[in-house]
Chain A
Amino acid sequence: MNNKNKLSREAIAMRVTKELHNGNVVNLGIGIPTLCPQFIDPDKFIMYHSESGVLNYGEMASERREDTNLINAGGQYLSWDNPGMSVFDSAESFAMIRGGHIDVAVLGAYQISTQGNLANWKLTNRKSGNIGGAMDLAIGAKKLIIAMEHIDKKGNIKLVNKCSLPITGSKCVNTIVTDIAVIEIINECMVLKEILPGWGIQDVQEITEPKLIIDKNLKEIQL
Chain B
Amino acid sequence: MFGFISRRIAMALVVMFVVALISFLLFRFVGDPVNQMVGIETTPEQREALRQRLGLNDPILVQFFRYILGAIQFDFGNSYQFKQPVADLIGRRLPATLELSFASAIFALLFGIPMGIYTGLNRDSLLSKMFLSVSLVGIALPTFFIGILFIFFFSVTLQWLPSFGRGEVVALGSFWDTGFLTISGLKAIILPAITLGLYQMTLIMRLIRAEMLEVMRTDHIKFARARGLPNRSVYYIHALKNTMVPVITITGLQLGSIIAFAIITETVFQWPGMGILFLQAVQNVDIPIMAAYLLLTAFIFVFINLIVDILYVVIDPRLRTERGRA
- Genuine A/B complex: no
| A contact set with B: CB distance below 8 Å | none
